[in-house]
Structure 1
Amino acid sequence: MDWLIAAAQQTSTSTSPVWLAPLLGGVGALLGGSLTSTVAWRVLSDTKKARTRAEEKVATETITAALLEVRQTYRKGEVGTGPAPDEFEHWPDYLLSKLGAAEVAVMAFSSEDLRKRLTSSLDLLLWGAHDSQLLYETRLGSSRVVAYAAHHDALACLGANLRGEPLPDAAERWTNADHQMRWQDEQVRRAEEGE
């Protein structure tokens, strides 16, 4: 510490002002700190994006597996007609047992539009595909047609998200079924609220 005091008391033989060295040191510290903060922020940002992508990939795998399992159910026969499989009393209960994990996995996606599309497709599989009023109003005819439209839309949206592409346009069958199901849900809500 004594050497520092002695150095400060010596007269400078340099022509630069005494305040220049501390100023340059301060500027250097400011630039160094800014650069360090920027790099740290960038690393944290990249880490967060990587974690989000990893979570979305796991969610995609979960939803895809559930969709493929339910597709087999729809291929075997008309869903909603006849007794529900296994120990289930109603078809929606059976389908919910297969698609429940997929419904939860939808929440992992950062895109609100993707979450809405996937939720609508899953709702069509759970409730709409075997709803006789929806099938009649949309003239789609069978639960398989609605289920196929829901499966196709969900898988197309998941694939686009994995590739970093915008969501594809929904097919007309999917759009008609989704609008009809929403309309029916709104009518039920109004009836329950006494409107």
Structure 2
Amino acid sequence: MDWIIAAAQQTSTSSAPVWLAPLLGGVGALVGGSLTSAVAWRVLSDTKKARRRAEEKEATEIITAALLEVRQIYRSTDVGSGPVPGEFSYWPDYLLSKLDKSEAAVMRFRSEALRKRVTSSLDLLIWGAHDSRLLYETRSGARAVAYEAHRDAMACLGAHMRGEQLPEATKAWKDADGQLRWQAEQERRAEEGE
């Protein structure tokens, strides 16, 4: 504050008012501070977006690797019948062990539609593709349901990474997903005594 008073008391040899220099200095500081804040905000925003993209890319890689492993299991084994590999008693437990990291990775996606579609496809691979009731109702084989679930998940992940809209689900996928959801709802109602 003293410097403003001192500047006002000085005699000036220029024709500009004495108060103009401090005013311009204040305006310059305000503009400079605003620009610095805007640039910092932009950098922070870009950093957040880059971090989100990196997290979603990592999630996509985790899910894709698990899907490819499970596809090999379906190709080489008669999933749902015969002995379950390893220490597992039931096929869903075995498949869940292969896809457990994928289910957690799905939560990293910001898109709710993508989370729902990929989760539904994972559920079809784990629970639906060897469920005799689902297979009977949809008139599909285990490999056909697994193929549709795998194909849909991969197509959705690819579209998301390219920045495209999610592809339309096939009728076979919709039928299997709808049947699995219906069965889950019936089981929930039976447990609650409705």
Spell out, residue by residue over 1:128-162, the C-alpha distance to the aligned partner (whole angstroms, 9 max, x if none).
1111111111112x110010001001111111111
Per-residue deviation, 1:92: 0.4
Asked if structure 1 preserves the Cα contact closer than 8 Å seen for 2:8 and 2:18, the reply is: no
Q: Measure, in 1, the Cα distance between the counterparts of 2:30 and 2:101.
A: 50
Other-structure match for 2:88: 88
What does residue range 170-189 of structure 1 map to in structure 2 within 5 Å? 170-189=169-188
Query: Residue 101 of structure 1 aligns to which amino acid in structure 2?
Result: K
Residue 76 of structure 1 corresponds to 76
Residue 125 of structure 2 contacts residue 146 of structure 2 at CA under 8 Å; is this kept in 1?
yes
Q: Which residue of 1 aligns with 2:130?
A: 130
Count of paired positions = 193
- 1:100 is displaced (CA, Å) by 0.7
- Distance apart, 1:187 and its partner CA: 1.0
Distance across 2 between alignment mates of 1:6 and 1:42: 40
Residues 59 and 102, structure 2, Cα contact 8 Å, conserved in 1: yes
State the identity %: 76
Helix, strand or coil: the match of 1:108?
A: coil
Describe the SS at the equivalent of 2:18: coil
Match of 1:169 in 2: 168
The DSSP-based 3-state class of the residue aligned with 1:88 is coil
Q: TM-score, normalised by structure 2?
A: 0.92
Q: Describe the shift of the 1:11–1:70 C-alpha distance in structure 2 as closer, same or farther (beyond 3 A).
A: same
Alpha carbons 2:63, 2:101 under 8 Å: kept:
yes
Contact between 2:128 and 2:180, CA under 8 Å: does it hold in 1? Answer: yes
Unaligned runs of 5+ residues in structure 2 are: none
Moved beyond 4 Å, runs of 4+: 2-8
Q: CA deviation at 1:164?
A: 1.4
Could you tell which deviates more after superposition, 109-118 or 17-26?
17-26
Query: Structure 2 matches for 1:1-195, cutoff 5 A?
Result: 8-140=8-140, 142-195=141-194
Could you tell me the TM-score, scaled by structure 1's length? 0.92
Moved more, 99-108 or 143-152: 99-108
Deviations 1:17-76 (A, max 9, x none): 333322222222121111111110111111111111111111111111111111111112
Structure 1, unaligned stretches of length 5 or more? none
Q: CA RMSD in A?
A: 1.9
